[in-house]
Structure 1
Amino acid sequence: MASDTSASHDETATGAHNRRGPFRSGDRVQLTDERRRMNTITLEEGGEFHTHRGVLVHDDLIGQPEGTVITNSVGVQYQALRPLLKDFVLSMPRGAAVVYPKDAGQIITMADIFPGARVIEAGVGSGALSISLLRAIGDTGHLRSFERREEFAEIAQGNVETMFGGPHPAWNLTLGDLAEQLGEYEAPGTVDRAVLDMLAPWECVSAVATALVPGGVVICYVATVTQLSRVAEALRADGRFTEPESFETMVRGWHVEGLAVRPDHRMVAHTGFLISARRLADGSGRLAPKRRASKTEFTEEDMNAWTPMALGERNVSDRKLRRAARDARKLADRAAYQGHDADPSGD
């Protein structure tokens, strides 16, 4: 006979309380009208959502079940749902470009991020990938994220706490360089998985190889073919990894209405490349496929091809970063208040 133990544990998992139940003050809610236009609001007692097509009173939604269809002051109808992870990631405050959901999903699967895993991450950005990693490893796992820029770390921390309703017990955010500081925090041969989302992941290959357990996985997210090539050669040159595998993911939606079935006119095409390899046992050599010799040295011109300016990356102003950090913290504080209010223990 099945027991109710799993259900009770489920309720205590970090972030579970704000993904279930009726709408509460502090909830993020996605409103979609009949024309499929979406707006995301944060519910507040006494709050109102104004558009040129009328007013929707927040109190009319608070206490209602998710999936409610509600009518505003002039008869416009909205369906109300909590944003899914993919919706939250694409609408949350950001200081850096986020890892798209299609790539985050591939990272979780291809790197085999499992419950309870010990994971290291370099390049937190706005926290999108950190959220996916924390969901995969659960409360019993361990994620240590390294971020060089303090402003990005603040934004990421706010977004993570918004998603989970407060700090996540499995997350440690370290301000600094993984290549230089990893050994201070993680002993050799103790890390299960390494995820690198940064401009120059090859700088971290040696440190990651030392930290990974035999059979552990490293996966890197890079934007250009030049970066992809250099990471692959760095993994091969290190000698402690299997032959790397590289790929990219493209997602094309379809319009389906009766017999009118066709691909959407727009699609999410190239966002980045993923390259992964596994840690070999000490003393074991890589089984390299036989191939014709090719150019592996990188010239100064090659190196300049992956600088932020060459990649088209815009400099984010300090003012925008401060605003994003404030917005992320405000949302996190609301989520934490909502979680405390929903806690049956009242602690």
Structure 2
Amino acid sequence: MNPDQTSTGAAQRRGLFRAGDRVQLTDPRGRLHTITLAEGASFHTHRGYLDHDQLLGSPEGSVVRNTAGIEYLAVRPLLADYVLSMPRGAAVVYPKDSGQIVAMADIYPGARVIEAGVGSGALTMSLLRAVGDGGSLHSIERREDFAAIARGNVEGFFGGPHPAWELSVGDLSDVLPTVAEPGTVDRVVLDMLAPWENLDAVAEALAPGGVFISYVATTTQLSRLAEDIRTDGRYTEPEAWESMVRGWHLEGLAVRPQHRMIGHTGFLLTTRRLADGVEAPQRRRRPAKGAYPVAPDGAPAVDDSELWSPEAMGERLVSDKKLRRARRDVGQAPQEA
């Protein structure tokens, strides 16, 4: 490969520190501070300040001292660090889940991927890394303010627009048929409140054998999605799991699990698109008694759509003030009327 032909964003990941680079400073206690380098600027704490000019032109992995003599290790933040420190509107998909999505959905270079529920753009960056410049990622977000924050975060990380990325504002069921021909999408990734409402649109877009993966927060969402997938008949038997990460304390012979861990964040469910006209194989296992709710007359219980409101599902609302601040931080401030 020609060394001058690099993937989008690669140039921002190597070389000496430059103005505009995001730098992660680690103090002697292991606390992380993320700054954006600018000529003449300074990083202040209650224990002195550090001039950005000390870092400009320095190699990654340098150690600098502030005016109080406190040393900081300076490196570029990894993607996992970036998504947890960047401005956000909606909650982000944690790196442990993004990694699982990329691996278990088999997001490969050149893949044609649809993502819906962009939030602040955390998962989008991992998907773009996976599909590469030769792939295609079309992200769909219902809220314009979330989409603006995601665009600012993604372009800030890659140093500008990514050639494989398109971002649309609207409902998945409305936008997807206009951006993808039937049977042409390799992977669909959903992070939304009620993904079962879009199973028909996803089935139309997915190629036979294509992977559908969904991120949901609660067991009630997980159960509803799995049963609706089985009822639809165009998907394979769904599989679901969660992952938990526990760090370890390493100090001489004192090697033990850390007291804190990243526990439950969400559930992941995957299934694959069957070929047209093929019936899903029947499950051989018999469901346990009481596994499916029934009405008093013995008929299947009818789901109440009001139960699936964001408030009922425990979705944390984001204030307009926080959204405006996040948009300003990523350079996507709303235009004045």
Short-chain TM bin = over 0.9
Relative to the length of structure 1, the TM-score reads 0.90
Aligned residue in 2 for 1:275:
269
**Shift in Å, 1:181:** 2.2
Aligned residue in 2 for 1:247:
241
1:325 aligns with 2:327: yes
Aligned residue in 1 for 2:123:
129
Cα distance in 2 for partners of 1:33, 1:144 equals 39
Residue 78 and residue 265 in structure 1: after superposition, are their counterparts in 2 closer, same or farther (change >3 A)? same
1:295 aligns with 2:292: yes
**Shift in Å, 1:322:** 1.4
Cα distance in 2 for partners of 1:313, 1:210 equals 29
3-state DSSP class of the match of 1:325?
Answer: helix
In the TM superposition, 1:61-76 aligns within 5 A as 61-76=55-70
Q: How many residues are aligned here? A: 324
Equivalent in 140, 160, 179 of residue 166 of structure 1: 160
Cα distance in 1 for partners of 2:65, 2:301 equals 61
Aligned residue in 2 for 1:149:
143
Aligned residue in 2 for 1:307:
309
3-state DSSP class of the match of 2:329?
Answer: helix
Report sequence identity in percent. 65
Residue-by-residue CA offset, 1:74-99 (whole Å, 9 max, x unaligned)? 21100001111111101111110100
**Gaps in structure 2 of 5+ consecutive residues:** 294-299
**Shift in Å, 1:312:** 2.7
Aligned residue in 2 for 1:344:
none
Q: Aligned letter for 2:48? A: G
Cα distance in 2 for partners of 1:267, 1:305 equals 31
Aligned residue in 1 for 2:228:
234
**Shift in Å, 1:299:** 4.1
**Gaps in structure 1 of 5+ consecutive residues:** 332-347
3-state DSSP class of the match of 1:55?
Answer: strand
Residue-by-residue CA offset, 1:245-278 (whole Å, 9 max, x unaligned)? 0000000111111111111101101000000001
Cα distance in 2 for partners of 1:274, 1:283 equals 27
Equivalent in 40, 44, 59 of residue 38 of structure 2: 44
3-state DSSP class of the match of 1:174?
Answer: strand
Aligned residue in 2 for 1:340:
none
Cα distance in 2 for partners of 1:150, 1:318 equals 13
Q: Aligned letter for 2:47? A: R
RMSD: 1.6
Aligned residue in 2 for 1:345:
none
Cα distance in 2 for partners of 1:318, 1:26 equals 28
Residue-by-residue CA offset, 1:192-225 (whole Å, 9 max, x unaligned)? 0000100000011111111111110000000011
**Alignment check: 8 A CA contact 2:115 2:190 kept:** yes
Cα distance in 1 for partners of 2:256, 2:307 equals 38
Residue 89 and residue 72 in structure 1: after superposition, are their counterparts in 2 closer, same or farther (change >3 A)? same
Aligned residue in 1 for 2:105:
111
**Shift in Å, 1:305:** 4.8
**Alignment check: 8 A CA contact 2:149 2:332 kept:** no
**As a proportion of its length, which structure holds more helix?**
1
**Alignment check: 8 A CA contact 2:236 2:280 kept:** yes
Aligned residue in 2 for 1:192:
186
